[in-house]
């Protein structure tokens, strides 16, 4: 009887595992694909009406106006007249694949114990089978920067594509950036511990900044010394000092951002990115002059202070862009993993509050690719770049038009089916059947 129960449990687990598994990743592109007649939004601010796009060997072989050629269309032909083609949308500063169910601790793998953890790599914890990751593709979100959380130095992120068997298959750029949570110069008391919830100066701010600075100094001294013992955190800093690994500093305040700029100079850091940057507008000139881009916190947020414009979060990206700062949109915050699929609509909101729509598209495509250092291959529809793109029935930055018919990652046509689309079809049929009765 016991043996029967064991077999029964195993069978249930196998069936459950299969029912919750992601769609099988697409096979490598085996023939040319020609997309004919769509309006192509190149992601660099340009549009080609009635376009001709040819995908070969996982790359874009051609993207031109259809009228400029009389050549025979090679391979599989997709008639996309009346539709729109966009480069794949990129989700920066994301924890997709690191947490499946926030309320279940066993599914959380975004944080490690400790404060200075540059050697912690998010990539090896990335779950390519995540059902949340799968749900990004139907909205055109095809790539993401997977970022660890917690500590003063959280660890090292990597960039992945969202149709893979495992993290090895998924990786697009390994160990792209170091992530630092900059201390706050002002803090609110923890009301749940009986502390005064009002904003007050953080007396330990300078000490916290100095501790971070000391770590950088010690790491540099170790790397320049004999290295007669193995120190994994210090070794992970080598690519930071060389500039091969970018430094993403999660910070919002005006004073703190200025301190980050000074920190960059003191430690000779080549590639620094501000993440969040809620008050970056106040120091936009400094950021521009020091070539520091900003991953702006998601526009679908409420203002932090009573005196701010109600639409300040909606227009912040545009205001920074007008100041000459390279800007893209990130989506961290409450329910960030599920809300990552809304990235195109975040860009649409920025467009609704003053930015040209093609410029707004860059906030989730080419600008993001530039900031992450993958623009040579991703972020725009250009000859020679990766064939990572999607076809939408309408305007992809508007939830009414963002209805995908096809999506490609490196030329592979990926599935747009998810657990959510299956439920939608099931219940749509249920209520249609009831109406017909």
Computed over every residue of the chain, the mean pLDDT equals: 90
Query: Is residue 12 in a domain?
Result: no
**What is the arithmetic mean of pLDDT over 202-206?**
89
Tokens of 134: 């799968």
Helix, strand, coil percent values for the chain (each to nearest 5): 35, 25, 40
Is pLDDT of 16 > 70? no
Judge if 130 and 255 occupy the same domain.
yes
> Within a domain: residue 102?
yes
Cα–Cα dist 140/162, whole Å: 10
- Least confident range from 162-166, 197-201, 213-217: namely 197-201
For helices 254-266 and 205-224, angle between their N-to-C axes, nearest 10 degrees: 20
206 band by pLDDT with thresholds 50, 70 and 90? very high
Rounded Cα–Cα distance for residues 424 and 430 (Å): 10
- Over residues 369-376, mean pLDDT: 97
Tell me, what's the pLDDT at 180?
96
Task: Please give the order of strands across the beta sheet that includes 141-146.
Answer: 89-94, 141-146, 153-161, 171-181, 246-251, 272-276, 294-296, 327-329
Q: What is the CATH number of the domain that holds 268?
A: 3.20.20.140
At residue 18, the pLDDT reads: 42
Is residue 169 assigned to a domain? Answer: yes
Lowest mean pLDDT across 46-50, 119-123, 225-229, 320-324: 225-229
> Which pLDDT value is given to residue 6?
53
pLDDT over threshold 80, residue 3: no
Q: What is the pLDDT of residue 186?
A: 85
Residue 219 lies in a domain: yes
pLDDT at 338: 85
DSSP 332: -
In the predicted structure, residue 11 carries a pLDDT above the cut 70: no
Are 312 and 414 in a shared domain?
no
- pLDDT value at 367 more than 50: yes
| Together in a domain, 219 and 326 | yes
Q: Same domain, yes or no, for 396 and 314?
A: no
Q: What pTM was estimated for this model as a whole?
A: 0.90
Give the residue, 233 or 420, on which the prediction is more confident: 233
Q: Bin 86: left if φ > 0, else alpha if -120 < ψ < 50, else beta.
A: beta
What is the spatial distance between Cα 405 and Cα 415, in angstroms, rounded to a whole number?
10
Does residue 192 form part of some domain? yes
At 22-75, the pLDDT tens digits run 578 999 999 999 999 999 999 999 999 999 999 999 999 999 998 877 778 888
Q: Flag whether 5 is in a domain.
A: no
Same domain? For 103 and 138 the reply is: yes
Count: domains in the chain: 2
Q: Does the pLDDT of residue 197 top 90, yes or no? A: no
Mind listing the pLDDT tens digit for each residue in 157-192?
A: 999 999 999 999 999 999 999 999 999 988 877 777
Check whether 387 has a pLDDT greater than 80.
yes
Range in 22-26, 143-147, 244-248, 255-259 the model is least confident about = 22-26
Give phi and psi for 26, each to the nearest 5.
Answer: -70, 150
102: which 2 tokens? Answer: 């926030």
**Nearest alpha carbon to residue 151 among 111, 120, 208:** 111
Closest CA to 31 of 51, 61, 63, 52: 61
Q: Which of 139-143, 196-200, 348-352 has the lowest mean pLDDT?
A: 196-200
pLDDT in tens, 414-423: 999 888 888 8
Give the pLDDT of residue 192.
77
Domain assignment present for 200: yes
| pLDDT of 72 | 80
Instruction: Quote the tokens at residue 383.
Output: 């000859």
Whether residue 204 sits in one domain with residue 136 = yes
36/181 same-domain check: no
115: CB partners within 8 A, 6+ apart: 151, 152, 153
DSSP string of 343-389, one letter each residue: HHHHHHHHHHTTS-HHHHHHTTTHHHHHHHT-TTTSSS--TTSB--E
Query: Mind listing the pLDDT tens digit for each residue in 310-349?
Result: 999 999 999 999 999 999 999 988 888 888 999 999 999 9
Both 49 and 75 in one domain: the answer is: yes
Average of per-residue pLDDT across 87-106: 88
Q: At which of 332, 363, 378 does a domain end?
A: 378
Judge whether 177 lies within some domain: yes
Kindly report, residue by residue over 388-415, the tens digit of the pLDDT.
999 999 999 999 999 999 999 999 999 9
57 and 183 belong to one structural domain = no
Any idea what the CATH number is for the domain that residue 392 is in? 2.30.40.10
Last residue in a domain, options 334, 350, 378: 378
Asked if residue 212 and residue 156 are part of one domain, the reply reads yes
The pLDDT of residue 22? 58
Query: Is residue 155 domain-shared with residue 223, that is, in the same domain?
Result: yes
Question: Which of 362, 378, 394 is the last residue in one of the domains?
Answer: 378
Q: Which helix (H) or strand (E) holds 272?
A: strand 272-276
Are 253 and 337 in a shared domain? Answer: yes
Q: How confident is the model at residue 70, as a pLDDT?
A: 74
Burial of 241 (0-12, 13-18, 19+ CB in 10 A): middle
Per the structure, the complete domain to which residue 360 belongs is given by 89-378
């Amino acid at each position: 009887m016991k043996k029967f129960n064991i077999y029964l449990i195993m069978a249930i687990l196998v069936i459950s595992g299969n029912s919750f598994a992601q769609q099988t990743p697409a096979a490598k592109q085996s023939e040319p694909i020609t997309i004919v007649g769509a309006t192509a939004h190149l992601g660099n601010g340009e549009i080609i009406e009635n376009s001709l796009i040819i995908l070969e060997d996982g790359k874009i072989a051609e993207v031109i106006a259809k009228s400029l050629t009389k050549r025979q269309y090679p391979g599989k032909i997709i008639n996309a007249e009346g539709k729109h083609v966009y480069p794949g949308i990129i989700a920066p500063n994301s924890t997709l694949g690191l947490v499946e169910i926030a309320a279940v601790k066993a599914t959380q793998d975004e944080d490690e114990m400790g404060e200075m953890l540059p050697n912690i790599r998010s990539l090896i914890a990335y779950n390519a089978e995540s059902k949340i990751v799968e749900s990004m593709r139907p909205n055109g979100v095809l790539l993401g920067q997977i970022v660890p959380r917690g500590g003063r130095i959280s660890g090292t992120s990597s960039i992945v594509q969202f149709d893979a068997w495992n993290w090895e298959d998924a990786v697009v750029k390994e160990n792209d950036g170091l992530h630092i949570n900059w201390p706050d110069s002002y803090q609110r008391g923890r009301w749940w511990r009986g502390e005064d919830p009002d904003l007050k100066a953080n007396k330990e701010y300078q000490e916290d900044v100095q501790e971070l600075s000391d770590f950088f100094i010690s790491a540099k001294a170790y790397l320049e010394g004999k290295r007669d013992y193995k120190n994994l955190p210090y070794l992970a800093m080598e690519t930071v000092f060389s500039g091969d690994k970018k430094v993403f500093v999660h910070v919002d305040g005006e004073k703190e951002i200025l301190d980050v700029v000074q920190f960059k100079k003191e430690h000779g850091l080549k590639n620094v990115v501000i993440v969040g940057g809620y008050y970056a507008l106040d120091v936009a000139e400094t950021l521009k002059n020091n070539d520091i881009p900003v991953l702006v916190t998601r526009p679908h947020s409420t203002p932090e202070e009573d005196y701010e414009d109600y639409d300040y979060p909606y227009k912040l990206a545009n205001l920074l862009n007008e100041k000459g700062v390279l800007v893209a949109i990130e989506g961290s915050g409450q329910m960030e993993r599920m809300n990552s699929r809304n990235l195109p609509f975040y860009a649409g909101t920025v467009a609704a509050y003053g930015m040209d729509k093609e410029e707004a598209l860059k906030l989730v495509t080419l600008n993001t690719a530039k900031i992450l250092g993958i623009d040579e291959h991703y972020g725009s529809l250009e000859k020679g770049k990766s064939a990572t793109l999607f076809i939408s029935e309408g305007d992809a930055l508007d939830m009414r038009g963002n209805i995908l018919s096809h999506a490609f990652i490196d030329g592979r046509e990926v599935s747009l089916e998810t657990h959510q689309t299956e439920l939608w079809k099931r219940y749509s049929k249920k209520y249609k059947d009831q109406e017909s009765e």
